[in-house]
Chains A and B, each alone.
Chain A
Amino acid sequence: MVTVVGADKPGIVAAISSELAEMRANIVDISMTVLRGFFSMIMVVDISEAVTDLQELRRRLEDRGREVGVRVMVLHEDVFRYMQKV
């Protein structure tokens, strides 16, 4: 589960999704909103076929996020499943 927040500008989606593509991580679901200039995006990413592990993926996405000026957080889907579903 990848979440991206920050000030809106061109190229954020491209930066994050191209980084994911390079690691062969598959975007399963994506939702994106821009509210008063504030960009927020949540992606559900399948890394079962990915060439990197979760730690490496997190590190690369966080680095890429910093380059384009947004904050990236990577969490495991279990966290959401446990906390939001009874």
Chain B
Amino acid sequence: MTKYDASELAEIIEMLSFQHLDVRAVTMGINIMGAVRREDLGEGVRGIVERRAGNLSEVVKEVSSKLGVRIVTKRVAVTPVSSLLDARAEDPEGAGELGLSVAKALDSVARDLDIDYVGGYAAFVESGYSVGDRGLITSIPEALASTERIAAMVNAASTLSGINMDAVREMGGIIKRTAEMTGGGGCTRLGVFVNAPEGTPFVPGAYHGRGEEDPVINVAVSGPGVIESVVRSMEEADLRTLHDAMKRAAFKVTRLGELVGREVAKRLGVRFGSVDLSLAPSPAVGDSVADVLRAMGVEEPGAPGSVLALAILTDAVKKGGAMATSSVGGLSGAFIPVSEDLGMAEAVRRGALSLSSLEAMAAVCSTGLDMVVLPGDVGEDTVAAIIGDVMALGVVLDKSLGVRLIPVPGAREGDEVDFGGLLGRAPVMSVGRYSSRDLVMRGGVVPPAVSRLLKG
């Protein structure tokens, strides 16, 4: 048996007991295309998910218990449902109705199997729509309003195709309608993406990609508390030394994800896919990316220097994580959600963090603009313009980024909104007085950047 130094053991115990280190999600990717062979698509989907993920929840609990490590959520990611609809529906209306039946079937099977979320109510429309895409996107507000566990995503831009501004504009309206139908809550399960990667274990970005094994296990770790504690212990350190220490801590965090993913996959007899290295905060005290930035020396997130600090953090997380696992997947950056991170929400309250500073930070965090609460009267075109900004960052920088915006009906700038649980609470942010309506209304597709041409 390997000998351990008492301080090494104590370090791990501290991480797990006091620094909120846990595995945020174990996500099983499932190809549901086989459902088209069944007359009733919903029944077909239910059958496939039952067969594949029937004992996922139980196995996750077993692994959590064996290792003594908390695993916060169990999730399933399915083939983008729009592909399923394309195989069946004649027109967008039919596709939308069919989509709703699939969403309800997935929601009910998730409840039965004790699965927390199902991702993959998704469409990829970066250069244009199919019948299934149209139907699915139109049905998103109702799909989210009539389910509890379904997460929806739309990929509206990519480095290869550019930005589909018609889709971005439409998503501005879809987000608003979802908010109106759900009091804002449904928007916590809806994301718009650029270069959405396969194998993301986080919702709403999770979907089962065409190149993935079926089924497959992907894992998401957490760990801001661990990094913060390392940074706090190194007050005098210069940035290279600090980066090195953060990298080492990120290594350990990622290893835990790798261990859990491999163990779950082994017990289920399926392939282990990847670990998403992303630092994922939660609304708990001491589990905040904002607090890592503060520990690094940024007085409040949003202050000049925030982008620099976040870039250092993201790079350290990536490098430490890359050493820890050879199966890197998903977004693998640092999440900067507002409501899901106690420290970020506080920075908004203190007037330090604005939408523009978040957008600037999105350029270096590798995840995007997340859980941003907007006033209820924000225009569709302004929601679309915010999405457009992030799509542009993703296309120009050739990065995967997401946008999750929550315009809460009736809420005004500065009001506090509580989503409960892991989703947290946050003040409503200002969108400013000026609009880019005329730009958004032009529509069309923004051609890809020159970086597209370097790809061949």
Contact = CB atoms under 8 A, between A and B. Distances in A.
Interface of A: 1, 3, 5, 28-29, 31, 33, 40, 42, 44, 46, 54-55, 58, 73-86
A55 B256 CA distance: 20
Contact of B68 (A5, A74, A84, A85): A74
Interface residues of B, number: 26
A59 B261 CA distance: 25
Interface stretch (B8-16, B387-395, B404-412): B8-16
Contacts of A85: 2
Nearest to B63: A76
B454 interface: no
Main secondary structure of the interface of B (DSSP, over half): helix
The 3 A-B pairs of least Cβ separation, nearest first, read A75-B68, A82-B259, A83-B252
Contacts of A28: 1
A55 B67 CA distance: 10
Given A55-B65, A82-B255, A75 B1 contact: no
Given A55-B65, A75-B69, A80-B9, 20 more contacts: A5-B13, A29-B3, A40-B10, A44-B1, A54-B65, A73-B13, A73-B17, A76-B67, A77-B1, A79-B68, A80-B8, A81-B2, A82-B255, A83-B255, A83-B256, A84-B8, A84-B11, A84-B252, A85-B2, A86-B323
A75 B10 contact: no
25 contacts: A29-B1, A29-B3, A42-B4, A42-B10, A42-B13, A44-B4, A46-B1, A73-B17, A75-B12, A75-B69, A76-B67, A78-B263, A79-B16, A79-B67, A79-B68, A80-B2, A80-B4, A80-B12, A83-B12, A83-B252, A84-B8, A84-B11, A84-B12, A85-B2, A86-B323
Contact of A82 (B4, B6, B17, B256): B256
A45 to B, nearest CB: 10
A83 B16 CA distance: 12
Contacts of B8: 80, 84
Given A44-B1, A81-B2, A76 B68 contact: yes
A5 B3 CA distance: 20
Given A3-B13, A73-B17, A79-B256, A31 B68 contact: no
B258 interface: yes
Interface string B62-88: 000111110000000000000000000
Interface string B344-369: 00000000000000000000000000
Contacts, number: 74
Main secondary structure of the interface of A (DSSP, over half): mixed
Given A73-B13, A73-B16, A84 B4 contact: yes
A78 B66 CA distance: 10
A34 B13 CA distance: 17
Contacts of B65: 54-55, 58
B9 A78 contact: no
A78 B12 contact: no
A74 B13 CA distance: 10
A1 B67 CA distance: 10
Contacts of A54: 65-66
A78 B4 CA distance: 12
Contacts of A29: 1, 3
Given A73-B17, A79-B256, A42 B6 contact: yes
A73 B65 CA distance: 12
Nearest to B9: A42
Contact of B6 (A33, A81, A86): A33
Contacts of B251: 86
A25 to B, nearest CB: 14
A78 B67 contact: yes
B92 to A, nearest CB: 49
Contacts of B16: 73, 75, 79
A44 B69 CA distance: 17
Nearest to A84: B8
